Chains A and B, each alone.
Chain A
Amino acid sequence: MATDTMVRKTSGRQTKGLTFNPTRPAWKEPVSPLYQAIKAVVLGLITLSIVLPILLVVSTSLADDQQLVAAGGYVLWPTHPTLQAYQAIFSGQFMFRALGVSAVVTAVGTVLALFVTITMAYATSRPVLFGRPVLLMVLFTLLFAPGLIPMFLMVKQLGLLDTLWSLILPGIFGAFNFVVMRSFFMNIPQELIEAARIDGASDVKILWKIVLPLSKAVVAVVGLFYAVGFWNAFFNAMLYINDQTKFPVQLVLRNYVVQGGGLADQLGIASTPPPQSMQMAIVVVALLPILLVYPFLQKHFNKGVITGAIKG
């Protein structure tokens, strides 16, 4: 990506019109307005198809009764924004608890996952005793999956059913994240590590003082991947959790929005705000954390952390 933009920048010349960034190479023929227009329409429609549903949901969750009724259930822009739907869903313990469960699972899960992934990736990134067989042990997981029922029996056997550990432990290691992390570690100049060894640093110290400070970007990306994964998981909860007080947000979303369960009954309130806006409020609660961390995730995409690992 870097060389690509460099070529364009050095051989660019000034153009006017639709392009904001005048980096067109001299040899490129000018684009016809028709072609340009078609492209703009295609890009516009794609953007709209993604932005519109999200806007619709956020706006409807904030709209007041009168506007909702007048508009027939949906609004694209709330004229008198109100938080009554949010007050309603957070009126009982139910939604707070769900949010708490999701937050704990995500936080604890991400920390444990980073610990397991970093240690494993570093230990197999150099030629050490048992390094090769352990690496093959990981790579085999890409080929085969144990299957849903044996996993369920295992979680049951470990006594994790109906505990938050059943949502955390099965997800604390992912082969893809391991590969990303390991290939990053392997690209760290070996001279640095060798020098530290000669100076008598232990492997743990090398990892902590030399490798990790150089790997902040990949740790951030992999950590965010794990966090998003834990936050988004719903099937684990459906499989392992029966106790309603341990439902994460995604399962609440599934039960009361996708399946359309009686939300007002569950919350123990008379449905004062229209059910539609309460449902939308739950959707927003599930969506918001992703939207908040997304800019941080996005920042690293173009640094080649992920694509480098995929290609390498």
Chain B
Amino acid sequence: MSSTTSEAPSAPAPEHAAASTGPGKFRGGKKKASAVAKQSFAGRSFKVRWKRDRQMLLMMVPGVLFLLLFFYIPILGNVIAFQDYQPFLGIGDSDWVGFQNFVDLYFNPDFWVALRNTLVLALWQLVLFFPVPLGLALIVDSLMSSRIRRWFQSIVYLPHFLSWVLVIALFQQVLGGAGLVNNELRHLGLDALPFMTNPDTFPLLATVQLVWKDAGWAMIIFLASLASIDGSLYEAAAADGAGRWRRMWHITLPGLRSIIILLLILRIGDILSVGFEQFLLQHDAVGPGASEVLDTFTYFAGVVGGGWSIGAAAGLAKGIVGALLIFAANKVAHRLGEPGIFSKKAG
């Protein structure tokens, strides 16, 4: 009937749960539930509901206030992308210039460098980062000793909770010009290698940093799906003579199929966001030619360079294309029969 009752079939469906939670499992139940809901809510007048839900409405106030102040009003602030914004004039008195900022953006070579870097980095992340958590999850899932398993999980989740500043600082200490590895190389009489400052190898370095920081954490979702595969499937397959690799091919991977497709689609939908702080922090060391991405372009052109309007134009263009891509990716996920990040019956 609803997700609450399907988990505990013996309990009678309470009025509230039936009306509120989850998509209905079968038609009849849903109809009945909505009939109950109608009786208890829609029949009452707005005034009665207002009185009944007064405290709940009060509880929404802080959150709504936050969303207005730090989300919805700033969204309106994007109008400066269509202005020649001057800080001392403000939004009200700055001149309107139509799409001129977007035209300027189109003829700005730095913008295209930033776009190219973003796409290159996204591709590297897709090829090098994406498979790692899956592989890690398969290894961890195959560990028999729960003690080793717990220890390993504790260690690989840790870097996710370190700030990017800390991660870059740690990388510098190991791979930097005066770092551990280069110290050893010099001791051995070899030339130091510019791991942290070479623009040509920067995409690789950035992806390695991302793997170090987040691959362990990204594994958690694969582990959850692995745990939800019915163990008796493995037992049955083994009884039929399927070996380790056949079981992985015919049971494990099909069991993970939907989550892999979902994450892949979402990653492609989010292709314009490759990270921000990581690239901002290494902007000076590697140079903008390799490390400028769309988000850092917005920062340097807008805040540092004072080109508020062109920065806002870049940010707005990225935001809109990004939202369309996520929306499209979600549609594709639905088409493939996967749940996607948000469905029509949100919540």
Give A contacts to B, CB under 8 Å: 1, 3-5, 7-8, 11, 19-21, 23-25, 27-29, 39, 42-43, 46-47, 49-54, 56-57, 60, 72-74, 115-117, 119-120, 122-131, 134-139, 141-154, 158, 169-170, 172-173, 178, 182, 186-187, 189-191, 193-194, 202-204, 207, 228, 231-235, 239, 250, 253-254, 257-259, 276, 279-280, 283, 286-287, 290, 294, 297-298, 301-302, 304, 306-307, 310-311
Pick the residue among A72, A257, A298 that contacts B187 (CB under 8 A): A72
A231–B161 Cα distance when bound, in Å, is: 10
Q: Is the interface of B mostly helix, strand, loop or mixed?
A: helix
Q: What is the chain B residue whose CB lies nearest that of A239?
A: B303
Pick the residue among B15, B163, B238, B315 that contacts A194 (CB under 8 A): B15
Q: How many Å from the CB of A193 to the closest CB on chain B? A: 7
Pick the residue among B75, B298, B326 that contacts A148 (CB under 8 A): B298
When the two chains form their complex, are residues B17 and A190 in contact, meaning their CB atoms are under 8 A apart?
yes
B86 within 8 A of A: no
Instruction: Name the interface residues of B161-203: CB closer than 8 Å to any CB of A.
Output: 161-166, 168-174, 178-180, 183, 186-187
When the two chains form their complex, are residues A190 and B231 in contact, meaning their CB atoms are under 8 A apart?
no
Q: What is the chain B residue whose CB lies nearest that of A158?
A: B69
B28 within 8 A of A: no
B50 within 8 A of A: yes
Known: A49-B212, A286-B166, A307-B220. A119 touches B59 (CB 8 A): yes
When the two chains form their complex, are residues B71 and A141 in contact, meaning their CB atoms are under 8 A apart?
yes
Q: Which A residues are CB-close (under 8 A) to B244?
A: 29
Instruction: State the interface size on chain B (CB cutoff 8 A).
Output: 116
A169–B68 Cα distance when bound, in Å, is: 12
Instruction: Name the interface residues of B207-239: CB closer than 8 Å to any CB of A.
Output: 212, 216, 220-221, 223-227, 231-232, 234-235, 238-239
When the two chains form their complex, are residues B315 and A189 in contact, meaning their CB atoms are under 8 A apart?
no
When the two chains form their complex, are residues A27 and B235 in contact, meaning their CB atoms are under 8 A apart?
yes
B11 within 8 A of A: yes
Q: Which A residues are CB-close (under 8 A) to B180?
A: 56, 74
| B1-40 interface bits toward A, Cβ cutoff 8 Å, 1 = contact, 0 = none | 0001000000100111101110000000000000001000
Pick the residue among B19, B153, B346 that contacts A139 (CB under 8 A): B346
Q: Which A residues are CB-close (under 8 A) to B171?
A: 53
Q: How many Å from the CB of B333 to the closest CB on chain A? A: 14
A27–B223 Cα distance when bound, in Å, is: 22
When the two chains form their complex, are residues B49 and A129 in contact, meaning their CB atoms are under 8 A apart?
yes
Q: Which B residues are CB-close (under 8 A) to A125?
A: 20
A191–B323 Cα distance when bound, in Å, is: 39
Pick the residue among B53, B136, B146, B232 that contacts A129 (CB under 8 A): B53
Q: How many Å from the CB of A16 to the closest CB on chain B? A: 12
Pick the residue among B55, B148, B238 that contacts A202 (CB under 8 A): B55
A255–B180 Cα distance when bound, in Å, is: 21
Known: A116-B62, A190-B16. A144 touches B169 (CB 8 A): no
When the two chains form their complex, are residues A280 and B11 in contact, meaning their CB atoms are under 8 A apart?
no
When the two chains form their complex, are residues A253 and B326 in contact, meaning their CB atoms are under 8 A apart?
no
Q: How many Å from the CB of A279 to the closest CB on chain B? A: 8
Please name 11 pairs of A and B residues whose Cβ atoms are closer than 8 Å in the assembled complex, sorted by A: A27-B235, A53-B173, A72-B186, A74-B180, A116-B62, A135-B346, A139-B342, A149-B80, A203-B55, A283-B170, A283-B173
